[in-house]
Structure 1
Amino acid sequence: MPTSSYSVLDPYIAADLRGDLDKQNILNFPISTLSLAIKANIYYFGHPEWAKNYFENCHRDQKFKSCWQAAMGSWDQKIVVDIGCGPGNLYATLGGKPQLLIGVDISDGALSMAQRLGYTPVKADAHQLPFIDNFADVVVLNATLHHCDNMEVVLEEAARLVRPGGILITDHDPQLTAWNFQGLGLWLWNFRLWLYRLIKRGGHTSAVEQTWALATEVHHRPGDGVTPELYYKVLVSKGFHVKIYPHNHTVGAEVLLGNYGKSNKKYRLAQLCSGINPNSPLAALSLMCVATRHV
């Protein structure tokens, strides 16, 4: 894969915009609003140790790989945009040979790691992507929407990049109805943070790392998250055929057959204590959206 250069990206950059190449050959575009969430994502995913923890512990297992490969098919020889690419987890797990693999993020540190894997890196705000419309064969957002201030705007921006016949996939964003913890369930869920620090789980190895990690996840909190209605509202009117797959991160390609799996005991306990039926699809932890553009 080529490293980032303006000549590679030039056909796909909006005519009224021009980015600046930095010393690492990363194309930078201005970020108009440095919100608290954006600052947290820049700092957390730019931290070399924390980014490494995230890279090694998230979205790297065989179940994740088989589910994504079944949903997307091959991305070989295709133009791919990975929005919120982070340190490059998706490509590191899926492999393949895209014609052009553009990684968009706001963290220089994360983009540097992704660049070494083969991404063509672009530093830009996902709410204001610097690209033309309708050029990408595949647009992906894995564990991205819930890190953004306005999930609807980011989804709209992602959708406009997809060419007719192309595909948009999002995954690993928390389903609102699964995380609506209350009462004892909410207390138990908050208690887990102390336990995670104690066992030094990835992303929680210290109080400081845990604080910054949580600050990045602006829509991963009790009573917040994505809903099927969000995807239908944004995508159907833009000519997409939308399929939504709830799942619990415990099965692979079977997710696309309606098997959402069984979540870990800690989630089920918190849900039961909150009056949520843990065996319901509404209790599935994440929603995967696979949307094909037909016009």
Structure 2
Amino acid sequence: MITKVKPYLSAKADIQDDGKHLKCPIENPSEGLKANAYYFNHPEWAEEYLTYCHRSEAFRSRWMAAIGDWTDKVVLDIGCGPGNIYASLQGKPKLLIGVDVAPGSLDLAKKLGYVPILADATKLPFKSAFADIVVLNAALHHCDDMTAILVEAARMVKPGGLLITDHDPQLSAWNYKGLAKLLWNGRLLIYKITGHGFHKTNSQQQWGLACEIHHKPGHGVTKEFFTNTLVPEGFEVKVFPHNHELGAEVLSGKKGKAELKYRVGNFLSGRNPDADTSALSLMCVARKKVVESAAIV
């Protein structure tokens, strides 16, 4: 496996091939990183995530519109999990590298065609500007330092290349107030009584919540977060609010309508449920500028 990525590794890369994955040492892992490693390493939970999460036609349409044709492109999927993006999009990239902290998820991603690398996404073992496309789907809010992850992702993108993120909670939509926050805090009991919710057991719920580090009131991403982080790194940045159920239309400014419970949450928080700031997620599509050399006089 290491031969596939060797041309793109930095001179100081500390990476080993154990026959299943490529591994970089992770020093002093945070509690959040440990929670992500535990949850996404659980074979049943990782398989469920691959099967049920981010696999809709709307997801595929939205991402296909953002990426375009990735045939023969070098693609880096940061926080790849079990490989949802490629499982949904398919295609024929030249090289598909998946980075994650959970070996169990990387096993599933490898079966789909990823070159799996276990590494801390704030310290990637690659040269700068090697990838045509860098993607992070539902990844930033799982990380302790979202800015550090985004800056490191930006470092990987070659001039003219794309950096795309999606499915991270928009801060202004999830920052519940008053009664809405009380309902949010009591949602686990409500799920237990009604039998609804993705997680099947209390343990799965506990670890799922532990790894959703920035998916809670007062946390999340904003348009300013993306522009303030990526513009200084040389990117042209476009941010699209949406409510998950629309596909390519999101890139033309449509956001769709959220489920009733989220609309009620925003209404009870004193916000217009139809406002852009009440959309559940932000998709960021950023292209790295090509800097032309100054003409020699």
Q: Does 1:129 align with 2:124?
A: yes
1:107 corresponds to which of 102, 109, 114: 102
2:236 corresponds to which of 238, 241, 252: 241
List runs of 5+ in structure 2 lacking aligned partners: 291-297
Change (3 A) 1:258 1:86: same
Task: Say whether the 8 Å CA contact 1:200–1:206 is kept in structure 2.
Answer: no
Counterpart in the other structure of 1:84 = 79
Q: TM-score, normalised by structure 2?
A: 0.95
Q: SS of the counterpart of 2:104?
A: helix
* Alpha-carbon offset, residue 209 of structure 1: 0.3
Distance 2:38 2:232 in 1: 36
Q: TM-score, normalised by structure 1?
A: 0.96
Task: Say whether the 8 Å CA contact 1:80–1:138 is kept in structure 2.
Answer: yes
Aligned residues: 289
* Alpha-carbon offset, residue 200 of structure 1: 5.4
Counterpart in the other structure of 1:14 = 10
Q: SS of the counterpart of 2:153?
A: helix
Q: Summarize the alignment of residues 144-293 of structure 1 with structure 2, pairs less than 5 Å apart.
A: 144-197=139-192, 198-199=194-195, 201-202=197-198, 204-293=199-288
Task: Say whether the 8 Å CA contact 1:173–1:287 is kept in structure 2.
Answer: yes
Distance 2:221 2:258 in 1: 18
Task: Say whether the 8 Å CA contact 1:247–1:259 is kept in structure 2.
Answer: yes
Distance 2:186 2:47 in 1: 25
Task: Say whether the 8 Å CA contact 1:196–1:205 is kept in structure 2.
Answer: no
* Alpha-carbon offset, residue 93 of structure 1: 0.2
Q: SS of the counterpart of 1:101?
A: strand
Runs of 4 or more consecutive aligned structure 1 residues displaced over 6 Å after TM superposition: none
Deviations 1:94-146 (A, max 9, x none): 00010000000010001001000110001100111111100100000000000
* Alpha-carbon offset, residue 193 of structure 1: 2.2
CA RMSD of aligned residues (A): 1.1
What letter corresponds to residue 170 of structure 1 in structure 2? T
Distance 2:93 2:32 in 1: 31
Distance 1:201 1:178 in 2: 20
Percentage of matched positions with identical amino acids: 54
Q: SS of the counterpart of 2:240?
A: strand
Q: Does 1:48 align with 2:43?
A: yes
Deviations 1:197-250 (A, max 9, x none): 452532x11111001001111110001100111111111111111000000002
Deviations 1:265-290 (A, max 9, x none): 01011111111211100000000000
Distance 2:117 2:196 in 1: 32
List runs of 5+ in structure 1 lacking aligned partners: none
